[in-house]
Structure 1
Amino acid sequence: MSRILPINLDALLHCRGVESERVEFKASWDPGTTGVQVLRTICAFANDYHNLNGGYVVIGVGERDGRAALPPAGLSAEDVEAAQQWIRGNCNRLDPHYPPILSPETVDDRLLLVVWAPASEMRPHRAPAEGGARGRYWVRLGSSTVDAEQRGDMLRRLIQQTARVPWDDRRASDARVEDLREAKVREYLRDVDSGLLDEPDARDVYRRMRITARVNDHEVPRNAGLLFFSSDPVQWFRGARIEVVQFAADRAGDVQEERVFGGALADQIRGCLNHLENLSTSHLQKQPDRSQVRGWVSYPLPALRETLVNAMYHRGYDVDQPEPTKVYLYPSRVEVISYPGPVPGIEHRHLVANAQVRAAPARNRRIGEFLKELGLAEGRLSGLPKVFRAMEENGSPAPSFDFDEQRTFFQATLPAHPEYGALSALRDAAHLRALGDQEEAVRRIESAWASNPASAILAREMIRSYGQGGEIGRAEDVLETFEAQGPASAASHVANTLVDVLLEAGDKRKAQELLKRDRPMMFGQDAIDAAILARRLRDSRAAHRYFERAGDAIYADPRALHEFAQTKIWLATEAHRRRQRESNRRFLTEARTLLERVIQLDASPTRHGWAWRELARTLNRLRAPFREVEDAYRKAIEHLPAEARFVRELETIRAARR
């Protein structure tokens, strides 16, 4: 394990916590070819055009499809020594001089040389050209090292950065090295599995991590060091905190809860994310034709994580930015606001789904590096696509991102899942009913339905409410509206609710007509519910069709299995009356299998008792040995000893079998 590099070597080789564009692999060492390429790449990393804090060259490891070819080919001990001498000597020829950090390493008993080239405070640098020509300014563009002079105005923009060391890499002259907490630093090194953890001298660790710098005759922390490794960064940077405010029903000033997260930056982010995750509501439902469950959350955690981390990564922390990062929680959305706005080069058109985002230099290079090594931040340019993807996969509306013309703030808005607002309205209505305010409870549901007619949860609640009030016509109107505006996958779910209401109202004709409508997307639990409704209507053939459409969802539901078996028993009886012997036996055999499944599942004694009784009767009709019939009846009696009919039925069968 390296005691020179701050990053774990295995993570570096697999580009975990560091973008692949910041790592270059070289399979072997040759000063005439590899040496020239390495020198140019060191120059490019030192110039750090995109403010990513340089990068690494790993010599002795080839590249395959953009990844390290492992196990490594390795270098001889002589090549490692020769490469170090050549690199040190030729880096003196960079203009201005730049010394990278060289770290010989061993992986799988093979020798490697890792060249760490952090961003330089003396940029831009030039590397000597062949034949004594004027040196060239090399920069990193993706995973390639290119000549800045051959890339439009890239050289001009590189030179403009000369006097602009990113804020997080600057010296904090008003702080002391003692303001860094060694325990926090070592906790970080443990989290990233760095070999520097074994270094006993704390100040030497700080230097190697580049979180301190020399000023005249003493050392001071860098700003990034204070942000991540001091007890209270807000002493120096007033904006280094997160404020979370939860509002009720979007009414201005109606605050339910306020929380402030302070301390080291990574601790703030983790604490805030845990808080947001605890507030997020989950809803699970069975998937069609499979044993897994599928559902949605009010706000998908990957989207929350990326949005918050991006805000903390890309915001400003200097004296001109005293405002904290703000997270506003409304019933219908989450807003994350940071200061100031995005760096020049990022426009509104870059902040929509599937947009090509320009690779503009980052505001903070060390903050991003630490967050990525801790696994809190994603690779470069991958954050926004992940937010859009997480929201879409959750069934949520698309996020939006905004900033003002003066770029004084940046706001990310994550809309709640459509059904989350519905659940919130139902909770409010339940509270109002508990207080005895039935009319206001109904108005709350109606208001939510008016603003979200595509909500299946609200549609079902409206149908039940109108049904209880005898307003069947209004309940039917709700279904019609939902079928026009809601998702087709939920139409059966809502329609089943209206069928149930119609049955309760005694209108079997309308219930049967509605149940018979063709619904191609009815499956899973919706099909089970429809089958049970069909049994209430005494339509066993329709019930059988719906049970079959339920697929695998039925096999974990003891009630559904039991009722499916009863349906098959009824169909077997019908087949027997028509003298259809094969159909009769097939239905009975299938019923037996279903009942045997019921008694294996976790269910109530009543369910098991009746399942054993019906299994006994089915076995008798299949002319199974009497002992099997008797055993099944005895199991039924054990579960329900008060059911005298079980004993009478057993005695009747015993007499008939003699």
Structure 2
Amino acid sequence: MQSIAEILEYLNSTDECTTIEAKRGTAIDMSVMETICAFANEPGLGGGIIVLGVTRDESSLFPSYTIEGIDNPDKLQLDLASQTATLFNQPVRPEIEVEMLPNKKIVVKIQINELPDGQKPLYFKKNGLPQGAYRRIGSSDQRCTEDDLFVFYNKEDSLDSTIVNDTSIEDISEEAISLYRTLRAKVNEYAEELNYSDKDLLRSLGCIKQDKGDWKLTYTGLLVFGNRMALRRLLPMVRVDYIRVPGNEWVEDPENRFTTIDMRGPLIQLVQRVFSAIADDLPKGFLLGEGEIQASNIGLPSKVLREALVNAFIHRTYRENQPIQIIRYGNRLEIKNPGFSLKPEEQLGEPGSKNRNPFIASIFHETNLAETKGSGIRTMRTLMEKSSLAPPTFESDHSANLFTTRLLLHHFLNETDLQWLDTLKEYELNESQKKCLIFLREAGAIDNPTYRQLNACDILRASNELRALRDKDLIVQKGKGRATYYIAGPALNTKVEELNTEPLALNTEPLALNTEPQSLIQELPSVLRDKIQVLGSRENDSSKIENIIYELCQFKSYSVKQVAVILNRKENYVYRNYINPMREAGRLQYTIPDMPNHPEQAYKSI
């Protein structure tokens, strides 16, 4: 096990840490146990280390961990051994080391090993699956979902092979079947399945199954080949929303509304329809036809756009009855699909894939609508680089169950960029930092994962180079921990102003939220005020507290901190026990869905 000096050095060098968790360690509470569960479950992580007696200075701009020490190491060890042996569905045997430092302060190091695949998932017995299991996502412990169980068990019987009740072969679109045959013949005109009848073809593709003597559609059959009437009847929210937003920022302005095109239909037809709608809408000169892509060409390669769309269709979760959103800003495309990535973000683009929907994916691969398995993202990066465009960036948000692909419609390091960067010569920036500032100029903000994707580097290098930009006042840090992101700093905006251009986007301080107890409570309706007053500080009925929070956020949108102040409870307690579970259960939603970790994030009732 690493020494405490080595652990502190690593913590203070990175903005987030997947394999090390530092805690004050006054007691073995649920936070410690959730981290143990997450370390034991996370595939490929190899486990992790929990350090008790170390605290983070929250006032420091960059990570600053110090040793506070603990007073009761023997009691902590006994409590830990007892809880790890009884709380989970199977005993966990952590390795515990007590280290006394020269200043007589004591720290406890807990090594948690990853469980073998056959023993996963570890979960809290009282909560069951999936809610009682946790995964280690970045530097946080995330409650598991049904999709996580697919990762643990690697089930062959996936959702897309499940029968959909109230369906029949009559719900199949003949046009979609005909299109499949045409596309498949272009790939392999001698493919055996082309000689099958429509019914046998659907059976071979896993699109229909027999149930009590009747043929019914599976989710694959309904989604890929179902007619529009069946799709609207059975999956009304599984569609694509193409949203055009004026400018480069999401602003809900009732006087300047964005425009939306809603598209639905069998996936095999929908891909081309969505592709055409976006391609026709891109500025003239940005799109080239298939087969015309060369390194010297300008514009977003059509193959990149198609692959990004196909990835959204075949990797999204269909357990969530939500649309795919494609947002067209002035300078970029953002494709948001329900379902976090089953592969860790740092492995995106590496060979091999993990599919939620293997039957749907197989159909797309066999018709050449998708790249060879596991190579789609790598192909997108290569083509964007050849076209002198910024690499695509990806964000997998486990807590929001959302995956975002961003494509900048901007020629990277072109003549204009080089002229702009020439004004920053005095800062002696390397190529990675230059890419960072160009991306920040276009997107308005950047975070550590995006920096790593842009420059194909590890977390330590990204943290050090971002720290250097911050020390030069070129960027400013916002948020904390995993929610950290960066916007343009004073030095960078000074350069922009010297060039007589507008200051960079998002260079604003978060709005000051009202957190005065009396003023927050006084603005509430009298009936709600009375309920809160009766509630008291020792109320243990969680359903009563949930209902009050629901009524609060129905009256007005509130931040976690404001809710905690109104209820006279700790902020972390309110978020962990009420706000996050209520959002996951569909009772609350973000007011800023595009950035879940936004410092001005608030919640409203659904």
Shared fold (TM-score, shorter chain, > 0.5): no
More helix by share: 1
TM-score range (shorter-chain normalised) is 0.3 to 0.5
Say which one has the larger Rg. Answer: 1
TM-score normalised by length of structure 2:
0.40
